[in-house]
């Protein structure tokens, strides 16, 4: 064992090697030295545990270069999303429009009027400019912006109903990803949950009968990530708003995904819109920025001016506020909605959702021979119809007709298919599909850069 330890070169001698000096120029002296020390320690540990040197000890510069390269690689890698889910939570949800990307770049490089009112020459409010734009788009009196819709719900409850009751239908006690549940949010906000109705049927009289002197809010939660069908009944937001007006109790709606346009005009399933709920008399509506809206992650609250003021004054607002980059991206995204006639072209989310099956099929035809040339020796490559999904809890039942390139192993080997999928995930720009029914499916709905796809599968 002593002989093995003696074969470990000294750090100083390693640093003098020509190949290592090149690494010092590229990665810096400190980082290169720290990497060599880490490798040396790993070698000692392997000698103690296995009485042998690691294989990489035969080429220290190569081992150091590989380690340094991994350390420098970014954790957030661009990915080719061929999963068939447009708003994929694990892949970052909405893609931003070019105007939003440019706006973020600009505010990163410069001091900006984040909380500075130019006309008065004094401190302003970071939500102000976007609040005016949101009011223009939704008809609300005021608006508040936090870091996601879960935060928006938490803030509404904590600011408006601490120590009091909030009435919600049993059929709307939703759980979203990460086990985030409405009852748990209420508990954290210091509210008391009052459940009314049943899982499948809730009537207006149920809300009325639940009202007490301690009721602070009537709440509706849009069941955006599941659907109850069959013998059902729910209360419309307009009816609940009328009851709230009559009894002096604010009505809030957690809309979840939220869309500022009528999606049915593009042949997509309709989704409730904040401006309609505001017109129906709802006091506050919250929704996400990075789902159907097509912007950055944010929680948006629109509604009554007096209630928004209470949210802005609550201590949680500071903890949940967004930074200048989010505000810049959100503002640029919202401005696209002022030009609805070009929205389906400028907004990536809407552009991908509205792709026609015919255009996707044509793309599949172009790429089929390329994929066959790259993988045909081991896989049967075909074009197959499939169904894309919107994703991120938006319209969970509805599917979008699409086309995929499918790969089936000639020998029926599941391990060969798993290996191909794993290899593609290791590419410079990972290619992500989905494994189902003994095939690897590459849904082309979200593929816009064909040249990049061809380069990645041809390596």
Q: pLDDT for 347-376, tens place per residue?
A: 999 999 999 999 999 999 999 999 999 998
| Residue that finishes a domain, picked among 295, 322, 343 | 343
Do residues 143 and 16 both lie within one domain? no
Give the CA dihedral 104, 105, 106, 107, nearest 10 degrees.
50
299-303 β-sheet, strand order:
142-146, 299-303, 284-288, 251-254, 215-221, 165-169, 192-196
The predicted structure's pLDDT at residue 271: 86
- Most confident listed range (55-59, 82-86, 111-115): 82-86
Q: Is 439 helix (H, G, I), strand (E, B) or coil?
A: strand
Do residues 64 and 120 both lie within one domain? no
What tens digit of pLDDT does each residue of 68-79 get? 888 888 888 999
Q: Are 205 and 169 in contact (CB under 8 A)?
A: no
Q: Are 22 and 15 in contact (CB under 8 A)?
A: no
Q: Is 59 helix (H, G, I), strand (E, B) or coil?
A: coil
The predicted structure's pLDDT at residue 393: 64
Cross-strand partners of 31: none
What tens digit of pLDDT does each residue of 331-349 get? 999 999 999 999 999 999 9
Whether the predicted pLDDT of 123 surpasses 80: yes
Mean pLDDT, residues 380-398 taken together: 83
CATH number reported for the structural domain that contains residue 316 in this entry: 3.40.640.10
Do residues 313 and 291 both lie within one domain? yes
| Helix %, strand %, coil % of the chain (to 5) | 50, 20, 35
| Residue that finishes a domain, picked among 292, 316, 343 | 343
Residue 225: CB atoms within 10 Å: 17
In order of 291, 381, 433, 439, the CA distances from 408 in angstroms are: 33, 7, 13, 5
In order of 134, 301, 344, 372, the CA distances from 337 in angstroms are: 10, 17, 10, 42
Whether the predicted pLDDT of 121 surpasses 90: no
Q: Structural domain of residue 60, as residue ranges?
A: 1-72
Residue spans of alpha helices (H) in 267-304: 274-279
Do residues 57 and 27 both lie within one domain? yes
Do residues 331 and 367 both lie within one domain? no
Mean pLDDT, residues 266-279 taken together: 91
Comparing 170-179, 204-213, 378-387, 402-411, the range with the smallest average pLDDT is 170-179
CA-based radius of gyration for the chain: 28
Do residues 158 and 48 both lie within one domain? no
The predicted structure's pLDDT at residue 231: 73
The predicted structure's pLDDT at residue 399: 87
* Arithmetic mean of pLDDT over the chain: 91
CATH number reported for the structural domain that contains residue 372 in this entry: 3.90.1150.180
Residue 297: CB atoms within 10 Å: 18
Do residues 225 and 365 both lie within one domain? no
Residue 184 binned pLDDT confidence (cut-offs 50, 70, 90): confident
Do residues 184 and 255 both lie within one domain? yes
What is the number of domains present in the chain? 3
Whether the predicted pLDDT of 451 surpasses 70: yes
The residue with greater pLDDT, 87 or 256, is: 87
The predicted structure's pLDDT at residue 268: 87
What tens digit of pLDDT does each residue of 393-436 get? 655 667 899 999 999 999 887 888 999 999 999 999 999 999 99
Do residues 380 and 260 both lie within one domain? no
């Amino acid at each position: 064992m002593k002989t093995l330890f003696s074969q470990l070169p000294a750090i100083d001698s390693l640093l003098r090697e020509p190949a290592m000096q090149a690494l010092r120029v590229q990665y810096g002296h400190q980082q290169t030295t720290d990497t060599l020390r880490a490798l040396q320690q790993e070698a000692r540990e392997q000698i103690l545990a296995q009485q042998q040197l690691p294989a990489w000890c035969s080429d220290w510069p190569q081992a150091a270069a590989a380690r340094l390269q991994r350390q420098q690689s970014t954790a957030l890698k661009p990915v080719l999303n061929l999963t068939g889910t447009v708003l994929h939570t694990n892949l970052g949800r909405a893609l931003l429009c070019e105007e939003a990307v440019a706006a973020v770049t600009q505010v990163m490089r410069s001091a900006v009027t984040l909380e500075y009112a130019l006309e008065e020459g004094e401190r302003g409010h970071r939500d102000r400019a976007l609040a005016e734009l949101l009011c223009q788009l939704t008809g609300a009196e005021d608006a508040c912006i936090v870091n996601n819709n879960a935060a928006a719900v938490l803030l509404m409850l904590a600011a408006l109903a601490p120590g009091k009751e909030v009435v919600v239908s049993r059929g709307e006690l939703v759980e979203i990803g990460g086990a985030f549940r409405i009852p748990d949010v209420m508990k954290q906000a210091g509210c008391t949950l009052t459940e009314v109705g049943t899982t499948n049927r809730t009537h207006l009289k149920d809300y009325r009968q639940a009202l007490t002197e301690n009721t602070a809010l009537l709440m509706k939660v849009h069941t955006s990530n599941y659907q109850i069908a069959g013998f059902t009944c729910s209360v419309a937001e307009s009816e609940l708003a009328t009851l709230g007006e009559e009894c002096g109790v604010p009505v809030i709606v957690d809309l979840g995904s939220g869309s500022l346009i009528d999606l049915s005009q593009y042949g997509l399933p309709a989704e409730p819109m904040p401006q309609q709920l505001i017109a129906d008399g709802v006091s506050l509506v919250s929704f996400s920025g990075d789902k159907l809206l097509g912007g950055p992650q944010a929680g948006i609250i629109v509604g009554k001016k007096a209630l928004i003021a209470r949210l802005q004054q609550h201590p949680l607002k500071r903890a949940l506020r967004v930074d200048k980059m989010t505000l810049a991206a959100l503002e640029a995204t919202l401005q696209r909605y002022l030009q609805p006639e070009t929205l389906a072209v400028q907004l990536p989310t809407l552009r991908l959702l509205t792709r026609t099956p015919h255009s996707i099929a044509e793309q599949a035809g172009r790429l089929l021979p390329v994929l066959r040339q790259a993988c045909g020796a081991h896989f049967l490559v075909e074009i197959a119809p499939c169904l894309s999904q919107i994703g991120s809890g938006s319209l969970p039942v509805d599917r979008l007709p699409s086309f995929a390139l499918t790969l089936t192993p000639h020998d029926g080997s599941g391990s060969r298919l798993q290996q191909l999928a794993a290899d593609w995930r290791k590419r410079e720009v990972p290619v992500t599909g989905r494994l189902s029914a003994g095939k690897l499916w590459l849904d082309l709905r979200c593929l816009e850069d064909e040249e990049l796809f061809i380069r990645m599968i041809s390596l």
